[in-house]
């Protein structure tokens, strides 16, 4: 088995504070190719191309990835790859004198080494080149860690979850949901700065269509085939075949990525300017000036807005809870940042999207919902916040 130190939990700096980071999360990012692979360079300035990222070694002693193939400065090199958060972890784990690491050809780090051009010492005759992953990530470490934590939530029962991880009353639910809202706005701001309005909408919508299981290949498709490619016409089966790591076991027919790609192609065909239609939605209601106690679905006109988003912006191409997830996770945070308006209450009272069915019973058990206060996105987000904080944020003790 792998040594326990290889999967240790570390506190690491993120965009919005300190977060808990598992090396296995970074390994998964490498394995799934969730980073830009254009114009890569090692820390000592050599060109780097990843021909084969290697076989993820989850079962035995030794490097994290076996039998990788790289092109470094034009030379094809085959061997193993080791991944760490920081440069010092190489010697800390004793790899510099371990024969099992003799075949390592690349040391992948999250954070840059302190000295520029570092070559890692090895038992092999030559040192090992270093590659820094963080600048190449398409999403922040927080987003990756959060997705991991949310994925684990689907297997938690109410009885097994600590009570402190649930909001105890309506006020706490709003407070926790607002923290989630601010985080999503931060993500949206980063995406808009990197890609602009049209491509940010395109990329994030495709990611959300991948749901938890297939976000990574959907994200790569969004980058490989930008909006203009879809406007000129794409064969969705060929787009689907461009990715090889789809997770299809247990995937329901309506969630199959082939179906989602066809739906997106239909959206582009029927509503080629859907991003502009989204931008022109009107969330600037007079109700924003009212007291917080007055906010509800009726005076926010959410029924009308949800219909407009579903039918006019997205052309009726998506239904069920997924259409609400598209608004909650991507579209409304992007709209809010683009227009520089905090529309938290629209987001809070919006119909909940794809969340575990147990969330409704949890909320009812805690007295957060009743006849006049239906379950909504904000309540779901506050439950997510309480549970993922335990997973990604360091404890205060």
* pLDDT, tens digit (0-9, with 9 covering 90-100), for 277-331: 999 999 975 444 444 445 677 888 899 999 999 999 999 999 889 999 999 999 9
Q: Is the predicted pLDDT of residue 201 greater than 90, yes or no?
A: yes
Kindly state the average pLDDT of the residues 85-101: 87
Q: Report the pLDDT value the prediction gives residue 121, as an integer from 0 to 100.
A: 58
Max CA distance (Å), the chain = 72
**Least confident window among 121-130, 153-162, 188-197, 356-365:** 153-162
Supply the pTM of this predicted model: 0.76
Confidence of residue 139 (pLDDT cuts 50, 70, 90): confident
DSSP 22-90: EHHHHHHHHHHT-B--SSEE-TTS-EEEEEE--EE--SSSS-SEEEEEEEETTEEEEEEEEEESSTTHH
Q: Is the predicted pLDDT of residue 72 greater than 50, yes or no?
A: yes
Phi then psi dihedrals of residue 177, to 5 deg: -65, -35
Percent of the chain residues topping a pLDDT of 70: 83
Q: Report the pLDDT value the prediction gives residue 81, as an integer from 0 to 100.
A: 96
* Distance (Å, whole) CA 265 – CA 288: 36
Stronger pLDDT, 201 or 127, i.e. the higher one? 201
Q: Report the pLDDT value the prediction gives residue 327, as an integer from 0 to 100.
A: 97
Confidence of residue 144 (pLDDT cuts 50, 70, 90): confident
Q: Is the predicted pLDDT of residue 146 greater than 90, yes or no?
A: no
Q: CA 347: distance to chain centroid?
A: 19
Burial class (CB in 10 A: 0-12, 13-18, 19+), 284: exposed
């Amino acid at each position: 088995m792998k040594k326990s130190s290889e999967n240790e939990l570390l506190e690491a700096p993120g965009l919005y504070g300190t977060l808990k980071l598992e090396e296995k999360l970074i390994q998964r990012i490498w394995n799934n190719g969730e980073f830009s692979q254009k114009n890569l360079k090692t820390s000592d300035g050599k060109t780097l191309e990843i021909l084969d990222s290697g076989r993820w070694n989850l079962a035995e002693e030794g490097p994290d990835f076996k039998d990788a193939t790289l092109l470094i400065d034009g030379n094809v090199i085959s061997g193993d790859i080791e991944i760490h958060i920081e440069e010092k972890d190489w010697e800390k784990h004793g790899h510099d004198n371990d024969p099992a690491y003799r075949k390592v050809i690349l040391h992948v780090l999250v954070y840059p080494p302190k000295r520029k051009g570092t070559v890692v010492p090895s038992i092999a005759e030559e040192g090992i080149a270093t590659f820094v992953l963080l600048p190449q990530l398409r999403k922040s470490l927080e987003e990756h860690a959060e997705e991991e934590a949310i994925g684990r939530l689907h297997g938690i029962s109410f009885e097994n979850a600590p009570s402190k991880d649930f909001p105890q009353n309506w006020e706490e639910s709003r407070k926790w949901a607002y923290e989630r809202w601010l985080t999503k706005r931060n993500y949206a701001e980063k995406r808009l700065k990197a890609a602009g309005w049209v491509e940010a909408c395109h990329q994030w919508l495709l990611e959300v269509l991948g749901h938890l299981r297939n976000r990574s290949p959907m994200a790569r498709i969004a980058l490989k085939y930008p909006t203009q490619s879809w406007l000129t016409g794409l064969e969705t089966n060929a787009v689907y075949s461009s990715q090889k790591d789809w997770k299809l076991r247990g995937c329901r027919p309506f969630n199959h990525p082939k179906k989602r790609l066809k739906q997106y192609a239909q959206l582009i065909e029927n509503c080629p300017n859907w991003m502009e239609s989204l931008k022109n939605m009107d969330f600037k209601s007079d109700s924003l000036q009212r007291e917080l106690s007055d906010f509800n679905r009726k005076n926010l006109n959410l029924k009308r807005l949800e219909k407009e988003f579903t039918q006019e912006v997205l052309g009726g191409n998506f239904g069920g809870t997924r259409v609400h997830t598209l608004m909650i996770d991507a579209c409304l945070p992007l709209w809010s940042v683009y227009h520089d308006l905090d529309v938290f209450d629209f987001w809070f009272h919006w119909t909940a999207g794809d969340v575990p069915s147990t969330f409704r019973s949890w909320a009812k058990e805690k007295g957060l919902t009743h006849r006049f206060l239906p379950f909504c996105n904000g309540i779901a987000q506050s439950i997510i916040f309480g549970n993922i904080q335990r997973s990604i944020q360091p404890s205060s003790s």
